[in-house]
Chains A and B, each alone.
Chain A
């Protein structure tokens, strides 16, 4: 008996189990409550697939059963090639059928009109898919995978083919299906009827597209304002980032270690916190505003609330990211190029201007595009500082939760935002790829970087020092703000905010979490802890497949995965609501939707980290394992994963931290039961309870610093003596991942 038959047996057994013993549809009170066992298997809601067909009269499910039986039948075919073919066909037909029936038949019957005309009305509809239906769908996916493996695809490696099929399936369900639903939602009404009016009206809305400001009129449309802001934020953070990078590498700047610390900040700062700190400084009752008022009689104004304020907050937030990108670029310029230039009678200024800077150009463009995408995707700062002058991401939010709920408008705005960020992403991938002048080669490249020309050096210091000071003040505000009674009005120190947020009491001899923040705090920790290992696993598996396996369509696969990174969180949020609120897949209000959102939004981080780490592992290690009788699953487990431990830890930590700081997608997906820390804080800000908001934010920052340093200490101790094949993995990873922070 070959291994092919063995694994097929397991799969078929699982399928029979799914049809006989698992509730087909979604169980209202949750699958894991196991309440459903009481009514099992004959109640309409909780019956498994077979009983849905036989006793409930949901006859269309018989098609799935028949396709599954075809799979069982293939077991009898001796010829591997033909068995594979039958399995692939049955699996593909099964998956297509499951998707079609899910979309076509809703609670009340046909969701579409044409099948109703063709087949006649249905007497009963169906609820959302449950454990049984999901299991059967996955089994159909594995039918395809095993069938392809039998036919010798990927050298007959079922584990690899299975992983690829599962990943494609999951990405399709959790990224492309929601985005698709959003496009469909833009032209449909609530009841699902086709109604493009809303779409057309919104698309032509002058509030979005007006160019009034150019011709001296009032204000430009929100699309242009967002674009304008993104360009300025990209420019600002790139210039500042370059100044910081030059200061850190090309000058005798006194606080270089401090500069490096700066790079950690964007990772641990929840995205709206900078905006919050700015309000405390420059808002109407901010420290600086009041000081100016009393000293010089300058009237307090609301200048901060609008594009200017958002721009300052974004430049503050994104400069460290751009610094991190550019420090690699600046160091990547080979010193020997600069030395060559100097021996060719060029002075420092000429060397910098004609050699160093041109070599950095692609890196600068890259930093700009990252800043641009970050600014577009930023939700926290505009929410806090935007006031009535919103940007796309906040407009989307208000179109869903505001006074006028208009899903079509939200979808249109999301589509516009998505097309901006995707264009920038495409520019980054297509235009910049292959234009990398990174002159770091494997060869030892000795030599000393040329110093900066005097005038430039002074400029760089002139930019870096004040900005560092500004950043310090801003973060100082965040810590300090939590201890002040009422900002601007009553500046006496107090612990009241911390007490209200994090108090603990004893009642009847038991510990009671009486603080208002605990509920969302523990939910956040729980969700972050669940999603972090999943994110790391999916990300690293993907990285393994991308780095180590060759298959047709690999580039498209990688591209699609990385593209999901350019989708702003707000867009993901709105598309998840539109996709997962109704059958066939209903997840809104559950913890599952938050976890799915985190896993698929943060996965690219794990992928990039994994790719970087795995590229440094000699491929012959895998091959040696394969020739030593280990299959690819064992190879992954015994050889690759142990050697990737630093990368795994990094992926775990960063997906954990990102799950805690993320706001843009989360704010759409939280529910009363599962509220996350960030959305709770934003709620506090909206109610004007700055004190608690700030206290809670500092607490989050503190928790994340603890977690990161804890993990660093754990990972830092481990290394393989004298082994340089894996050295540097941890370092390069941190570097990679830190670039990926988004709102």
Chain B
């Protein structure tokens, strides 16, 4: 696994119909070699279909797919230079971990001995040296997951595909394994396409994130870009929660805009928005609560829920209700209390619509 050859991926106007249902209407993506790109979206958004088309498990209705510059649109799965980690891991239950990892190597025509040697290396790579003789059922969930990764990686594919690889792990393990996957990808430098519906996971592992909705790309960019500069209410809400309220753009100041939120002035990046009515996304953590200062947006606490390290409030204001996360747990407010809302500099963004 020393000489990984990272390949690029290009989707060119790809369409996929299942009978009368169109899963992906018209998709064009370019993925640079050596990057980890996440396809993120709610269930049914077409992300898994996209991944399966890349693997060759589905064939597009129209359009073309390139891997490492080669047109693979009609190439069957077993002749493509990609490999995949399945959501269920899909380890062959009747083969030992070593046989599982060696399976792809033997399918590619390697001699059994050599295949097993390389499979041992592969298992060592994911920290499972010496566990090769075990059956999948004798491994823990996290170990099974690593066998699945090793099995895909020993083939030295141009692109590694991961289909919700963490969804069968418990929350604590999930955090560790996602760090491991990212670390492995950085160390070996392969191209990876990662499908998930969990935005935390996407933010944590990706070089770039492609958010999909109804088979189309809703927004594409680096994790920070997506979180801080969502283009739409959908993105703002999907990438961490957001309050979407109306505002008015009063003036521009270079790249920035001066806006009015229910009588409160605020300055933020304009991102090309023109004067007049606009929509504003506000992260729940970007609202500052103050009981005494009356210069802020006036509001009244509707509900309050104590969650240990923070308190969640629902607050009614003149521009709409706000969902607020306040980390000042020592000073909590009871329902019906009047408060004044201020806004931090970060975590506010003008969005479309």
Contacts and interface: CB of A to CB of B under 8 A. Distances in A.
B104 A720 contact: no
Interface stretch (A135-143, A616-624, A703-711): A616-624
A720 B135 contact: yes
Contact of B137 (A3, A629, A722): A722
B88 interface: yes
A214 interface: no
Contacts of B92: 621, 624-625, 638-639, 643
A720 B137 contact: yes
B83 A721 contact: no
Nearest to B99: A638
Given A620-B90, A626-B56, A628-B155, A723 B84 contact: no
Contact of A626 (B57, B94, B152): B57
Interface in A274-326: none
Interface string A623-644: 1111111111010001100110
A630 B107 contact: yes
A152 interface: yes
A627 B83 contact: yes
B87 interface: yes
Contacts of B151: 624, 628
Given A620-B86, A642-B94, A630 B103 contact: yes
Interface in B258-308: none
A354 interface: no
B195 to A, nearest CB: 13
Nearest to B93: A723
Given A626-B56, A723-B136, A643 B88 contact: no
B107 A628 contact: yes
A629 B108 CA distance: 6
A155 B59 contact: yes
Of residues A628, A629, A725, which shows the largest number of chain B Cβ atoms within 10 Å of its Cβ?
A: A628
Interface string B47-81: 00000000111010000000000000010111110
Nearest to B88: A620
B138 interface: yes
B135 A721 contact: yes
A623 B86 contact: yes
B82 interface: yes
Interface residues of A, number: 29
A7 to B, nearest CB: 13
Contact of A624 (B90, B94, B108): B90
Contacts of A264: none
Interface residues of B, number: 33
A627 B56 contact: yes
Contacts, number: 93
A726 B90 CA distance: 13
A627 B90 CA distance: 11
A638 B76 contact: no
B135 A723 contact: yes
Contact of B86 (A624, A720, A725): A624
B324 to A, nearest CB: 38
Contacts of A629: 78-79, 104, 107-108, 155
B76 to A, nearest CB: 5
A623 B90 contact: yes
B74 A624 contact: no
A639 B87 CA distance: 18
Contacts of A621: 90, 92
Nearest to B154: A628
Contacts of B136: 723
A626 B138 contact: no
Main secondary structure of the interface of A (DSSP, over half): helix
A623 B80 CA distance: 13
Given A721-B137, A723-B93, A152 B74 contact: yes
A626 B92 CA distance: 12
Contacts of B104: 628-630
A339 interface: no
A156 interface: yes
A558 interface: no
A157 interface: yes
Nearest to B94: A642
B194 to A, nearest CB: 15
A156 B74 contact: yes
A630 B78 contact: yes
A628 B103 CA distance: 7
A648 to B, nearest CB: 13
B84 A627 contact: yes
Contacts of A624: 84, 86, 90-92, 151
Nearest to A158: B76
A639 B151 CA distance: 15
A722 B138 contact: yes
Nearest to B77: A626
Contacts of B87: 620
B20 to A, nearest CB: 15
B94 A627 contact: no
Contacts of A155: 56, 59, 76-77
Contacts of A722: 137-138
B77 A627 contact: yes
10 contacts: A152-B59, A152-B74, A621-B90, A623-B55, A624-B151, A625-B107, A627-B55, A628-B152, A634-B107, A643-B93
Interface of B: 55-57, 59, 74, 76-80, 82-84, 86-88, 90-94, 103-104, 107-108, 135-138, 151-152, 155, 161
Given A623-B84, A632-B78, A638-B103, 8 more contacts: A625-B107, A627-B78, A627-B80, A627-B84, A628-B83, A639-B92, A643-B93, A720-B93
Interface of A: 3, 152, 155-157, 618, 620-621, 623-632, 634, 638-639, 642-643, 720-723, 725-726
